[in-house]
Structure 1
Amino acid sequence: MRTYLIIGVQAGLAAMLAWVVAHHLLRIEEPTFAPGAAVAVIGASLAKRARRTVELLLGIGVGIAAGDLLIALIGTGAWQTGIIVFLAITGAAAARGTGLLMTQAGATAVLVATLTPANPDLELPRAINALVGGLVGLFVMLVLAPLNPLRTIRRVAGSALDLFANQMTACAEALANGDARRAEVLLKQMRNSESKLMQLREAVSAAEEVVQFSPLRWRRRQIVYAYRDGVEHMERGYRNSRTLVRRAGTALRDAEPVPPDLPAAIEEYGTAVRLLHRACLAGDEPVQARERVLHAVRLGGKACRHEIGFSGTIAVSQLRIVANELLRSTGLRRAEARTLVRRAAAGQPS
């Protein structure tokens, strides 16, 4: 809510400035589209706003071109409007345009087709308004009131990491208690958690855009890029953990033996994720999180040296894959992470 409150402030400020620029500086009598374009740029999404500004302007250009060309050929009217909008949107789609580009192309084509007879000079003010709105929107979100990139990432990451940790704890408890039903319910919950990952990707993308273009945030570039790489590995780890939970549930349904070290290892992963979140908030090196990850791998290796079934063995293999991704998310290189996991699995000191 804090993030979207800031976006609301940005949108309101951009709408006001776009109106002032279009109406008072450029002397456009009807500057309605300028604040509309500014709000579209800011409010459409947290991420990729610069690209959305370009899409907005391209969509308007496609709509104007389609409208002008077809009006000259077939005139105006109900069926003519339908054809003009159809061709404008399909033209934008053929150019692999996104929803925003197609929407703007279609909306502009409607305006050109329906209002041109009464207002023959509508196209140029519409294009100028869109340009003013888009540029003002970019100016507000990158210069006047940019988001704090680190605060945005940490706020969203906190929710995602907390969910990840709690789900690992729930999996460990299901294994320890022999509760196959709980493991099934947990797997369904994890499959429905993609929205959290999407929010995290969106927040990181927005932060990356801010540090690329906002002079006030340039000094945060390296930290944000490190978060970007870490989030990529965290996503992979989370998706592999779903396979882990599925195999844990299968082991329980098939009444396979579950050595105590296996649920203990999964619980250690939950603890590692919590420690990783805490280190991110404090801006510290996640040393303790790495130690917990490697301890989890050691426990998984001990579980394999006891009587364990097929699904349990696969679960341990997934534990090691998740461990590698978690170590990579803390900033370790691929070779170093693999070496540490391999030694821990063999019971060797790291």
Structure 2
Amino acid sequence: MAKLRIGTLERLRQLEGSLESRALRVRKRFFRIVQVAVAAGVSFWVAQSLIGHPVPFFAPITVIIILGLTGGDRIRRALELSFGVVVGVGLGDLLVHYTPDGLWKIPLIVGISLLVASFLSKSPLVSNQAAIGSILIATILPPGTEGGGPDRMLDAFVGAAIGLLTIALLPSSPVNSGREEVSKLLGIGSSVLDDVALALDTRDADALDQALEAVHDTQADINNMLSAAEVGRELTLLSPLLWGSRRRVRSLERILPAVESMIRNSRVLARRAQVLCRDRDTASTRLVNIVDELADVAASLSDVFDVRTPSNEAQDIPDLVRRLQVIGSRTGIDAVSEGAVLSEYVILAQARSITVDLLEVCGWSRESATSALAPTSQTPGYPPEMWPGIGDQ
């Protein structure tokens, strides 16, 4: 236990506040601004010069909305958006003719638009755009104004097409964002495990307060990780420039459940370690060392997935797998102290689960990862794939 330790919150600050990370975010923001500005200008030019609409304002508006969509399923949502605009504009042009002026005109038009849209699609995006389109037509762009009627519908389609084409021709990296989120979560998990090992070693329950606070706030990071992978998969489907990256995206997607599981298991382990310390019970030195080694492996994996840090995955991953096999071989029932309390058994069980999770992150199947553990049953569901002496190394 002589290594230099970094607290969980300090580790979070390092992950989120590095100068290099900030520079990367600035570049991403600048690229996004240029992408949206160019696409809006191109859509306006196409609708005005090639199609001949004098004031095609719906084209750049649709582009901005589509490129502003976050997460995955942007293709589906772009189509829903276009459909909603078409429904709203069409209904607006129709209803304005047959509804007399008055205070109840807008509520009536919006209500009818939402009702029709709800029958045509269950998507809230379609309903919202239908209502917005109807309001625009009924207020500042009534029928008879320049560029009205079907022209507005066509402009919406042009904007949607240009928006999707921009995503396809100017894509961001389909895996970098996902790897960044994986690296961050593994780093958080590593720091939590590190804090747990320290608390078990010093019997200091209060040392886990910050770790538990940090790990409880990881749901947003988990959602970001899943969303980044979904966006990456969509980009490889949409952009011919990224078709060669499909295998890498699929590989990344396969490990995401294991990363999420590792964080959840670390949370349970930390909570139980805090209970053990507050009960003034102790954990065996062997179990403390297992948790400590898992923290070190998770930190190394975090570095492997960090896009800002050059790494040799072909060499690093097999080395980490070997270390996890050794850890797994040491997680038998004999890892707890004699007369162990329930909390110590729970910590051992969670350490076994985290070992499996990290092996899955390294690319193993769950069955093979489970087989790397020392058996705790006379009839294990997955017979151990160990060789003599591995636990002694």
RMSD: 2.7
Contact 1:244 1:319 in 2 (8 A): yes
Tell me, yes or no, if structure 1 residue 141 matches structure 2 residue 172.
no
Stretches of structure 2 that go unaligned for 5 or more consecutive residues are: 1-24, 378-383
Is 1:27 matched up with 2:52? yes
Shift, 1:45, TM fit = 0.8
Q: Secondary structure at the match of 2:373?
A: helix
Q: How has the CA–CA distance of structure 1 residues 78 and 147 changed in structure 2, closer, same or farther, with 3 Å as cutoff?
A: same
What TM-score does the superposition give when structure 1 sets the normalisation length? 0.88
* Cα separation, 2, equivalents of 1:127 and 1:78: 27
> Which residue pairs with 1:167 in the alignment?
192
Alignment map for 1:131-280 (pairs within 5 Å): 131-143=157-169, 145-280=170-305
Shift of 1:245: 1.3
The aligned residue for residue 313 of structure 1 is 345
Do the aligned partners of residues 22 and 65 (structure 1) sit closer, same or farther apart at CA in structure 2, a change above 3 Å counting? closer
Distance 1:77 1:283 in 2: 70
**Partner amino acid, structure 2, of 1:125:** D
The 5 A counterparts of 1:48-197 are: 48-68=73-93, 70-71=95-96, 74-89=99-114, 92=117, 95-98=121-124, 100-114=125-139, 115-116=141-142, 119=145, 122-143=148-169, 145-197=170-222
Between 313-322 and 110-119, the greater mean CA deviation after superposition: 110-119
Task: Provide the C-alpha distance between the structure 1 equivalents of 2:74 and 2:64, rounded to a whole number of angstroms.
Answer: 11
**Equivalent-residue separation in structure 2 for 1:305 and 1:240 (angstroms):** 22
1:90–1:310 Cα change, 3 Å: farther
CA distance in 1, matches of 2:179, 2:209: 30
Unaligned runs of 5+ in 1: none
Shift of 1:236: 1.8
Cα deviation, residue 120, structure 1: 8.9
Q: When the two structures are superposed, what TM-score results if normalisation uses the length of structure 2?
A: 0.79
* 1:16-35 Cα deviation digits (max 9, x unpaired): 21121112212222222211
* Match 1:284 to one of 313, 318, 326: 313
Find the residue that maps to 2:192 and give its secondary structure: helix
How many residues were matched structurally?
Answer: 348
Structure 2 CA distance for partners of 1:74 and 1:31, relative to 1, 3 Å: closer
Task: Say if 2:233 and 2:250, in contact at 8 Å, map to a contact too.
Answer: yes
Structure 1 window deviating more from structure 2 (61-70 vs 301-310): it is 61-70
